């Protein structure tokens, strides 16, 4: 089975480039860097004396070379960082391969000569103690980067042109979560289940929507669940939902874009309104969104939703405008045409190569997971269910009913209203 994280691949690609480090010997890099600083006026004048930055240390790494640069008083690190492009040219490397940041011991200048892998195998790894952590990819140094659904950046926006790798990313997110903590998942795939259909029968998939009315039903069900959780939290004086999480996934956000004379406009606007509320209030209640789109534009990625989503994965975009919608910078438009290459934005932006997981391998990985019982299909009129879950026993509900509010979020009690056990 497809496993190991492709460390071999990373190491291989790094190793194959070690020879290029010879070209960028530490001495040459320091000398070239300082001479470029001088030419670019990155100096400070004290009377008749001109003070230059100094390279205090050069540290070789597998991925390239790190320069630790001391700056004269009066020269800010930001001023040097702003000259990244001409400095990179002076160092004869692509500007993307020069990373600079301020640190306590000076300005850190990383000159990266290792190439990113173009293919990285998906790995099934134990993610404990971070069961909600998803590997988004590896950076230029071969370091893995993760998104944690349990972390500080609520909700995830995924954008980029067709063929960039959005579906593969969704597949690996869902596979990781389904084989891990198995939150209640609501999947919206209006392409008739082509992309997300392989997950449809899993017991953890509480709702699968392939039409607009189904999406509205699913979104409304999740919102009701969110409000119920807020009521429980208020009763308990807690501010964070401690129970099972709920994941709401939209494969194509542009499906809710309205056009002039659109007969579905009302429905779509209702869906967008619920999504906005979920994005604003969902996190504390353990309701998490993954919203994907091939067509990022201002009318697709609604401003309010965007404001509430602090983490983005952006594959190559058609232009800088699309890129700005997802990551607030034009950079994704100039990503190379390599499937799986992306910019991951949380507190800062980083270019990564995503792991690849084929549909066949995903099917193998989820094959042994619990499936819905036959009873779950008894009423095709009601495609969406709310899970009042204990051990994945699910109940269909056509409309929201009053709920029992448990005073203790850490126990399961019998709900006197419907006789089901509510796990909190």
Q: From the annotation, which residues make up the binding site for ATP?
A: 160-167
- Taking CB under 6 A as the binding criterion, the range among 149-157, 162-170, 209-217, 306-314 that sits at the site for ligand ATP is 162-170
316 is a site residue for ligand ATP (CB under 6 A)? no
Residues 323-352 close enough to bind ligand ATP by CB under 6 A: 339-340
- Taking CB under 6 A as the binding criterion, the range among 30-38, 165-173, 196-204, 271-279 that sits at the site for ligand ATP is 165-173
Residue nearest ligand ATP, CB atom distance: 340
Q: What is the 3-state secondary structure (H, E, C) of the chain?
A: CCCCCCHHHHHHHHHHCHHHHHHCCHHHHHHHHHHHHHHCCCCEEECCEEECCEEEEEEEECCEEEEEEECCCCCCHHHHHCCHHHHHHHCCCCHHHEEEEEECCEEEEEEECCCCCCCCECCCCCCCCCCCEEEEEECCCCCEEEEECCCCCCCEEEECCCCCCHHHHHHHHHHHHHHCCCCEEEEECCCCCCCCHHHCCECCEEEEECCHHHHHHHHHHHHHHHHHHHHHHHHHCCCCCCCCCEEEEECCHHHHCCCCCCCCHHHHHHHHHHHHHHHHHCHHHCEEEEEEECCCCCCCCCHHHHHHCCEEEEECCCCHHHHHHHHCCHHHHHCCCCCCEEEEECCCEEEEECCECCHHHHHHHHCCCCECCHHHHCCCCCCECECCCCCCCCECCCCCCCCCCCCCCCCEEECCCCCCEEEC
Minimal distance, residue 294 CB to ligand ATP, in Å: 6
286 is a site residue for ligand ATP (CB under 6 A)? no
175 is a site residue for ligand ATP (CB under 6 A)? no
Q: Which is nearer to ligand ATP, 294 or 345 (CB)?
A: 294
Pairing, β 156-159 against β 311-315: parallel
Residues making up the annotated binding site are 160-167
Phi (first) and psi of residue 256, to 5 degrees: -100, 10
Q: Which of 163, 213, 303, 370 binds ligand ATP (CB under 6 A)?
A: 163
Q: Which is nearer to ligand ATP, 140 or 403 (CB)?
A: 140
147 is a site residue for ligand ATP (CB under 6 A)? no
167 is a site residue for ligand ATP (CB under 6 A)? yes
162 is a site residue for ligand ATP (CB under 6 A)? yes
Tokens representing 77 are: 């690190």
| Count of residues interacting with ligand ATP (CB under 6 A) | 15
Q: Which residues contact 71 (CB under 8 A, 6 or more apart)?
A: 53, 77, 80, 106, 107
Q: Which is nearer to ligand ATP, 29 or 168 (CB)?
A: 168
Residues 80-99 close enough to bind ligand ATP by CB under 6 A: none
294 is a site residue for ligand ATP (CB under 6 A)? yes
Q: Which is nearer to ligand ATP, 241 or 356 (CB)?
A: 356
Identify whether the C-beta of residue 35 lies closer than 8 Å to the C-beta of residue 20. no
- Taking CB under 6 A as the binding criterion, the range among 3-11, 26-34, 160-168, 398-406 that sits at the site for ligand ATP is 160-168
Q: Which is nearer to ligand ATP, 160 or 181 (CB)?
A: 160
Residues 199-258 close enough to bind ligand ATP by CB under 6 A: none
168 is a site residue for ligand ATP (CB under 6 A)? yes
Q: Which is nearer to ligand ATP, 6 or 286 (CB)?
A: 6
119 is a site residue for ligand ATP (CB under 6 A)? yes
**How far, in Å, CA of 181 to CA of 204, rounded?**
10
Minimal distance, residue 125 CB to ligand ATP, in Å: 17
193 is a site residue for ligand ATP (CB under 6 A)? no
CB atoms within 10 A of CB 397: 16
Q: Which is nearer to ligand ATP, 296 or 340 (CB)?
A: 340
Minimal distance, residue 120 CB to ligand ATP, in Å: 6
Q: Which of 166, 229, 257, 295 binds ligand ATP (CB under 6 A)?
A: 166
Q: Which is nearer to ligand ATP, 149 or 356 (CB)?
A: 356
Q: Which is nearer to ligand ATP, 279 or 294 (CB)?
A: 294
Q: Which residues here bind ligand ATP, judged by CB under 6 A? A: 119, 160, 162-168, 294, 339-340, 354-356
């Amino acid at each position: 089975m497809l496993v190991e994280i492709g460390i071999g691949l990373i190491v291989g690609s790094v190793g194959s480039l070690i020879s290029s480090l010879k070209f960028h010997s530490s001495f040459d890099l320091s000398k070239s860097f300082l001479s470029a600083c001088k030419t670019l006026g990155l100096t400070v004048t004290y009377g008749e004396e001109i003070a230059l930055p100094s390279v205090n240390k050069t540290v070789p790494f597998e991925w390239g070379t790190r320069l630790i640069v001391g700056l004269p008083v009066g020269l800010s690190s930001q001023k040097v960082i702003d000259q990244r492009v001409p400095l990179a040219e002076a160092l004869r490397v692509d500007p993307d391969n020069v990373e600079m940041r301020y640190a306590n011991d000076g300005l850190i200048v990383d000159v990266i000569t290792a190439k990113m892998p173009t293919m990285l195998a998906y790995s099934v790894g134990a993610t404990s103690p971070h069961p909600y952590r998803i590997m988004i990819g590896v950076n230029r140094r071969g370091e893995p980067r993760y998104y944690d659904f349990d972390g500080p950046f609520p909700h995830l926006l995924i954008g980029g042109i067709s063929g960039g790798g959005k579906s593969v990313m969704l597949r690996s997110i869902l596979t990781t979560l389904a084989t891990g903590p198995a939150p209640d998942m609501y999947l919206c795939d209006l392409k008739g289940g082509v992309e997300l259909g392989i997950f449809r029968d899993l017991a953890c998939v509480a709702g699968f929507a392939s039409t607009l009315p189904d999406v509205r039903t699913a979104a409304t069900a999740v919102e009701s669940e969110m409000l119920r959780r807020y009521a429980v939290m208020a009763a308990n004086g807690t501010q964070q939902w401690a129970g099972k999480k709920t994941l709401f996934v939209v494969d194509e956000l542009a499906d809710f874009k309205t056009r002039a004379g659109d007969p579905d406009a009302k429905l779509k606007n209702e869906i967008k309104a619920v999504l906005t509320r979920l994005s604003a209030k969902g996190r504390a209640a353990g309701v998490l969104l993954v919203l994907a789109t091939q067509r990022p534009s201002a009318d697709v990625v609604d401003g309010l939703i965007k404001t509430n989503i602090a983490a983005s994965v952006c594959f190559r975009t058609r232009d800088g405008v699309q890129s700005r919608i997802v990551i607030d910078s034009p950079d994704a438009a100039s990503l190379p045409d390599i499937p799986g290459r992306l910019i991951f934005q949380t507190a800062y932006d980083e270019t990564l190569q995503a792991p690849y997981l084929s549909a066949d391998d995903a099917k193998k990985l989820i094959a042994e997971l619990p499936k819905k019982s036959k009873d779950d299909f008894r009423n095709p009129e009601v495609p969406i269910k709310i899970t009042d879950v204990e051990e994945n026993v699910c109940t269909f509900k056509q409309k929201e009913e009053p709920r029992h509010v448990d005073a203790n979020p850490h126990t399961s009690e019998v709900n006197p209203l419907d006789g089901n056990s509510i796990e909190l």
